[in-house]
Amino acid sequence: MSYKRIIPCIFLLQGKAVRWFDDRELLSEDAIALAKHYSDQGADELLVFDLSDSDEDHEESIDLLRKITKFVGIPVVAGGNIKRLEDVKKMLYAGVKRVVLNFSRTGAVKLIQEAAGRFGKEKIAASLNDFDTLFKHQHLIEQNSSEIIFMHRLDLNSVMTLTEIPYVIVTDTMEESEIFRILKSPGARGISGKFVSNEEMDYHKFKELCRDRGIQMTSFESVLDFSNFKLNSDGLIPVVAQNYKTGEVLMLAYMNAEAFDRTVKTGKMTYYSRSRQSLWTKGETSGHFQYVKSLTIDCDKDTLLAKVEQIGPACHTGSPTCFFQTIAGTDYDETNPLEIFQSVYDTILDRKKHPKEGSYTNYLFDKGIDKILKKVGEEAAEVIIAAKNPNTEELKYELADFLYHAMVLMAERGLTWDDIIRGVIGPPLAY
């Protein structure tokens, strides 16, 4: 059984959120706050469309996208006003999970091939307005995208007979029964549109309604019952809460069976207070909620690790973490960029050893050293051009692009980061 997603959508115009494609009424002055609201309320993903007409407004929307992806704790898929490969690149570097390419645009066929070849088809979604377009371009879409965004209701049974690519329906219907019908379709990955973009909607309650109808939603469903845990003498299990982005340990608390069940059901961390002898949801009075990203149990099944999105400080003192008082130790630098570079390099090396269909990295390896060198040269030139721009944002993602291609070259020639480091701290520094 496939898991379905609730995906509210945001329409950007001149730095603000409007109601719909053809309804430019102002919905929110603060699109970032709106996106954060959807994320905090339990949405699974966010679909963002840029409705701008000019390149200048498009750049503003991309800057806004960058801020949205930074502040929300759910994946963001985005499209709109994408005319060239550079637009796809900018959106991806803004942090979006997948870029939506509109098949009704002139040049869409060429662009989707270029984008999939450059970034991999898992980063591309195809936006379609009708079944005929899918019928006409079925193989092209299957080869170059990992998801279809249907912009209105179709005969979903016909879609299923034609392709196995998962799809998301964006609809203006407000009929709950129609939403259930769409979600029951085997090929539907999720639902988006006016119904699920209602700011008053309680996503957790709606998911319960879906499950009552046999629709399996993305939610926290434990593979282990609480009875399988090894509890302390008070019948509790300790829980370590960790920031899912930074890895910082935030706090230690305890759960009983009821607290665990509520956490799994709501997606908000709920604990058992040993002093008050009662349940407490973190942030219930302070607003400093902890939204669950994952729950993991240790090998002895006697401690839980909760990776969470922490709103505000975790500690009642106002500190970001309860572990802020150092009582022993030495000064050390916690920043180690090499770990990040090594992680990317390891992924590139894995692609070389274990090719993945649709991978841009494998495309470069397949083309060979001349193609890799050509891309390194092109990206170096783009770094130079970006450096002349007063806005350093462009320079950042061009440097990142260059470093990626440089690491592909390293992997192709058998060089590692250890080799590079030894070169840096060797003869050059001796002078």
- Is 221 a domain residue? no
Q: Are residues 189 and 88 in the same domain?
A: yes
Residues 6 or more apart from 366 whose CB is under 8 A from it?
Answer: none
Domain that holds residue 406: 337-430
Q: What is the pLDDT of residue 180?
A: 93
- Is 298 a domain residue? yes
Q: Are residues 410 and 294 in the same domain?
A: no
Sign of the CA dihedral running 135, 141, 142, 143: positive
- 305 DSSP β-pair partners: 240, 296
CB 148 within 8 A of CB 126: yes
Q: Are residues 25 and 168 in the same domain?
A: yes
Q: Are residues 168 and 299 in the same domain?
A: no
Q: What is the pLDDT of residue 330?
A: 67
Element (DSSP H or E) covering residue 425: none
Which residue has 């920031």 as its token pair?
A: 243
Q: Are residues 180 and 304 in the same domain?
A: no
Residues 6 or more apart from 136 whose CB is under 8 A from it?
Answer: none
Q: Which of 310, 345, 369 is the last residue of a domain?
A: 310
Structure tokens at 372: 């890799």
Q: What is the pLDDT of residue 156?
A: 66
Q: How many domains does the chain have?
A: 3
What is the domain-level CATH number for residue 382? Answer: 1.10.287.1080
Q: Which of 310, 345, 372 is the last residue of a domain?
A: 310
Q: Are residues 305 and 380 in the same domain?
A: no
- Is 329 a domain residue? no
Q: Which of 310, 325, 349 is the last residue of a domain?
A: 310
Q: Are residues 249 and 272 in the same domain?
A: yes
Q: Are residues 66 and 194 in the same domain?
A: yes
What is the domain-level CATH number for residue 16? Answer: 3.20.20.70
- Is 201 a domain residue? yes
What pTM did the predictor assign? 0.70
| HEC-encoded secondary structure of 109-178 | HHHHHHHHHHHCHHHEEEEECCHHHHHHHHHHHHHHCCEEEECCCCCHHHHHHHCCCCEEEEECCCCHHH
| HEC-encoded secondary structure of 303-316 | CEEEEEEECCCCCC
Q: Are residues 53 and 141 in the same domain?
A: yes
Q: Are residues 37 and 148 in the same domain?
A: yes
Q: What is the pLDDT of residue 22?
A: 85
pLDDT < 70 regions, the chain = 1-2, 153-158, 160-161, 219-221, 329-338, 422-431
Residues 6 or more apart from 220 whose CB is under 8 A from it?
Answer: 263, 264, 265, 267, 292, 295
Q: Are residues 9 and 137 in the same domain?
A: yes
Q: Are residues 182 and 234 in the same domain?
A: no
- Is 140 a domain residue? yes
- Is 330 a domain residue? no
- Is 303 a domain residue? yes
Q: What is the pLDDT of residue 157?
A: 64
Alpha carbons 363 and 342: distance in angstroms, whole number: 21
What is the domain-level CATH number for residue 266? Answer: 3.10.20.810
Residue type, 400: A
- 306 DSSP β-pair partners: 241, 295
Q: What is the pLDDT of residue 423?
A: 58
Q: Please, is 287 exposed, middle or buried when counting C-beta atoms within 10 Å of its C-beta (0-12, 13-18, 19+)?
A: exposed
- Is 322 a domain residue? no
Structure tokens at 373: 């060198």
CA distances in angstroms from 320 to 210, 268, 281, 283, listed in the order given: 36, 18, 18, 13
253, 255, 261, 265 alpha-carbon torsion, rounded to 10°: -10
